[in-house]
Chain A
């Protein structure tokens, strides 16, 4: 049973460029969340997708956008990259659509390390 997978593993971009990160959820999961983890910090919630729509968004600018496909996989797009966008981007999937305690636990992928020069 494959867990959450993310691609690419590493990425180097320059300021002003755009980037797309990809995530495939764990089998049986239909909800995908994206987090940004800066060095020395805990993960910070960017947004969550369910039924191909953004269900909740954290405190991130509109430069961060996403998409969920019918097969539940998801993309995170970041436009006009800034140096401060350098971080580990984590995707997490969860098996239920309504919070019901432990069954809503989010399971993380290995992350994509983005470096902006």
Chain B
């Protein structure tokens, strides 16, 4: 039962353009969402998070949008840079639990 889904295994974007990575979830009890970036041979690096009381959170070039009614979140990267090329994971957590449930990841390639 995949509670967090990233349906696009890969995405290619030109440098300077916007990258949009999507994530869907099925559990309406989730109230905290995160995005991690992972380079090969490294652990996931925390990027940005959002709680369910908000619908948007920004940090520099990264913005996360949350649509609770659609059970959908997205990560926007503007402008995209070649160094952003990595695998991006979304994760979710809910009240009364300490674990994160991860999607399967989207590989982003930013073309110079």
Contacts and interface: CB of A to CB of B under 8 A. Distances in A.
Interface of A: 4, 6, 31, 33, 40-45, 48, 55-56, 58, 90, 99, 101-102, 104-111
14 contacts: A6-B43, A42-B4, A42-B105, A44-B102, A45-B101, A55-B98, A90-B44, A99-B32, A102-B49, A104-B32, A106-B46, A108-B46, A110-B43, A111-B42
Nearest to B105: A42
Contact of A48 (B41, B45, B99): B99
Given A106-B100, A108-B45, A101 B32 contact: yes
A107 B99 CA distance: 13
Contact of B98 (A42, A56, A90, A107): A56
Interface of B: 4, 32, 34, 36, 41-46, 49, 51, 89, 91, 93, 95, 97-105
A52 to B, nearest CB: 15
Given A31-B98, A101-B51, 20 more contacts: A4-B43, A6-B43, A33-B99, A42-B91, A42-B102, A42-B103, A43-B44, A43-B100, A43-B102, A55-B98, A56-B97, A56-B99, A58-B99, A99-B93, A99-B95, A104-B32, A106-B100, A108-B43, A109-B43, A110-B42
Given A42-B104, A105-B49, A111 B43 contact: yes
Nearest to B103: A42
Contacts of A56: 97-99
A41 B104 contact: yes
Greatest chain A CB density within 10 A among B34, B36, B99 is at: B99
A90 B102 contact: no
Nearest to B45: A108
B85 to A, nearest CB: 18
A85 to B, nearest CB: 19
Question: Which 8 pairs between the two chains have the least Cβ-Cβ distance?
Answer: A42-B102, A108-B43, A45-B99, A108-B44, A110-B43, A48-B98, A56-B98, A111-B43
A45 B99 CA distance: 6
B9 to A, nearest CB: 9
